[in-house]
């Protein structure tokens, strides 16, 4: 509201680049903007995913470039399982219950294997899944019919059809799938080409690149700013480590040397000497955001850039884990192979969790600190695998009775 206050209507151009957020917050933003502006164009210079896609659907027009993308709007739920909090698609939770019903009816002897998992879900979970799905579809459907398709005789039908497709988890398979400009237009959204107006394209990309430079060179993690310079800026605490070639190894499994100073935006806090810290002081979200700002070749000419979808999947797994009861905050590292590594050092166990480049698999290596014992496990990055991963990390890392 601070940034919008004082802007003259009735038109608004909104440059939107965001991985998403909550449907409830998006509803509040749309309600406020639509009370102040009659016509809204949303420009997507790179990616507007999840709840940001919902916001884009509340526009009269979406302007996208060749490399721009929006994404699915299927809701993701936080579920508490055995004292751990995990995030899972609402559709996947419902599908798992349906699978359990069908298998147990066809082969009753499978019931004992399903009971331990199903009894952990609360009695209202299925209804909550349906409510969240209905909310996403109803919001987007109503916004499309009311704004983008206003005045059209089939506005309601078009809005509902598009909203239903965007919320179809079975179609998209994962929440991080990209929908490019051509696909968005084919779906029926009113999409314009950013490249059609070269002057406008230069202006929009200048805003986007300036924001990217701000994220790269400062601790800023969120910016909402208008053309008059009025801005809301959120920053995270940043710790800079200048580790020269031949310097100390990042404990316990970081790279041994660097081509020069560690990139300023790499917000990791490894313990190099003395007793290890209890946990990292930088949030998982901020550390993963830092990885997203690494450019290709960041490690002595090697090391790929990290894509938004993979970092989003890693965030969707790690953030609920560290938010659970007493599970400490890990140190998150990039690797020259493009993997994402999270480390919990120096408790009863040193635990290293490594996601492959596409975040389709998670490997755990745990070494006991008080005796000679090692545990290794590999998990698929799906609901079943993440449930087992959360149980293992809780057992290794949570304090006794925590």
Q: What is the pLDDT of residues 324-348, one digit of tens each?
A: 545 778 888 888 888 998 888 656 7
User: 39 with 62: CB under 8 angstroms?
Assistant: no
Asked whether residue 24 falls in the same domain as residue 85, the answer is: no
Structural domain harbouring 93: 76-126
Q: Say what the pLDDT of residue 47 is.
A: 93
Per-residue pLDDT at 64 exceeds 90: yes
Q: Say what the pLDDT of residue 78 is.
A: 74
What average pLDDT score do residues 184-209 get?
94
Per-residue pLDDT at 205 exceeds 70: yes
**Does the pTM exceed 0.85?**
no
Task: Kindly state the tokens that stand for 236.
Answer: 């995270």
User: 47 with 309: CB under 8 angstroms?
Assistant: no
Whether 109 maps to a domain, the answer reads yes
Per-residue pLDDT at 244 exceeds 50: no
Whether 94 maps to a domain, the answer reads yes
Whether 4 maps to a domain, the answer reads no
According to DSSP, the β-strands at 39-44 and 61-64 are: parallel
Q: Where are the alpha helices (DSSP H) in 188-307?
A: 198-217, 284-292
Asked whether residue 399 falls in the same domain as residue 290, the answer is: yes
Domain count across the chain:
3
Of 21-30, 212-221, 263-272, 366-375, the least confident: 263-272
Of 235, 263, 284, at which residue does a domain stop? 235
Of 110-124, 152-166, 251-265, the least confident: 251-265
d(CA 212, CA 295): 12
Residue 303, Cα to own-chain centre: how many angstroms? Answer: 22
Q: Say what the pLDDT of residue 176 is.
A: 86
Whether 3 maps to a domain, the answer reads no
Asked whether residue 335 falls in the same domain as residue 361, the answer is: yes
Percent of the chain with pLDDT over 70: 81
Please report the DSSP string for 157-177 in residue order: HHHHHHHHHHT-HHHHSSTT-
> How do residues 273-310 score in pLDDT, each as one tens digit?
333 445 677 888 888 888 888 888 887 777 889 988 88
Asked whether residue 57 falls in the same domain as residue 153, the answer is: yes
Of 188, 214, 235, at which residue does a domain stop? 235
Of 206, 235, 264, at which residue does a domain stop? 235
CATH code, domain with 180: 3.90.226
Asked whether residue 354 falls in the same domain as residue 372, the answer is: yes
């Amino acid at each position: 509201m601070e940034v919008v206050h004082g802007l003259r209507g009735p038109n608004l151009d909104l440059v939107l680049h965001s991985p998403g957020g909550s449907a409830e917050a998006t509803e509040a933003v749309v309600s406020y903007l639509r009370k102040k502006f009659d016509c809204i164009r949303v420009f997507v210079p790179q990616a507007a995913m999840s709840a940001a896609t919902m916001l884009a659907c509340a526009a009269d027009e979406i302007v996208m470039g060749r490399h721009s993308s929006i994404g699915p709007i299927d809701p993701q739920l936080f579920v508490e399982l055995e004292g751990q909090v995990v995030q899972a698609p609402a559709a996947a939770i419902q599908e798992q219950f349906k699978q359990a019903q069908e298998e147990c009816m066809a082969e009753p002897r499978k019931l004992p294997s399903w009971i331990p998992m199903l009894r952990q879900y609360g009695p209202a979970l299925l209804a909550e899944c349906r409510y969240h799905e209905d909310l996403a579809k109803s919001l987007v459907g109503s916004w499309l019919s009311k704004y983008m398709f206003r005045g059209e005789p089939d506005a309601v039908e078009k809005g509902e059809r598009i909203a239903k497709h965007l919320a179809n988890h079975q179609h998209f398979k994962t929440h991080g799938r990209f929908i490019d400009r051509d696909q968005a237009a084919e779906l029926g959204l009113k999409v314009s080409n950013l490249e059609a107006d070269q002057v406008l394209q230069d202006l929009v990309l200048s805003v986007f690149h300036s924001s990217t430079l701000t994220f790269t060179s400062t601790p800023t993690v969120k910016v909402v700013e208008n053309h008059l310079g009025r801005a809301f800026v959120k920053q995270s605490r940043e710790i800079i480590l200048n580790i020269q070639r031949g310097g100390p190894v990042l404990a316990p499994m970081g790279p041994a040397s660097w081509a020069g100073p560690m990139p300023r935006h790499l917000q990791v806090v490894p313990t190099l000497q003395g007793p290890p810290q209890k946990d990292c002081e930088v949030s998982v979200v901020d550390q993963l955001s830092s990885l997203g700002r690494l450019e290709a070749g960041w490690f002595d000419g090697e090391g790929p850039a990290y894509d938004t979808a993979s970092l989003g999947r890693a965030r969707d797994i790690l953030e609920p884990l560290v938010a659970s009861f007493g599970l400490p905050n890990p140190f998150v590292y990039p690797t020259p192979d493009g993997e994402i590594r999270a480390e919990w050092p120096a408790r009863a166990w040193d635990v290293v969790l490594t996601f492959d480049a596409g975040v389709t698999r998670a490997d755990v290596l745990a070494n006991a600190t008080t005796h000679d014992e090692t545990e290794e496990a590999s998990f698929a990055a799906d609901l079943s695998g993440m449930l087992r991963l959360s149980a293992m990390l809780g057992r290794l890392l949570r304090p006794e009775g925590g």
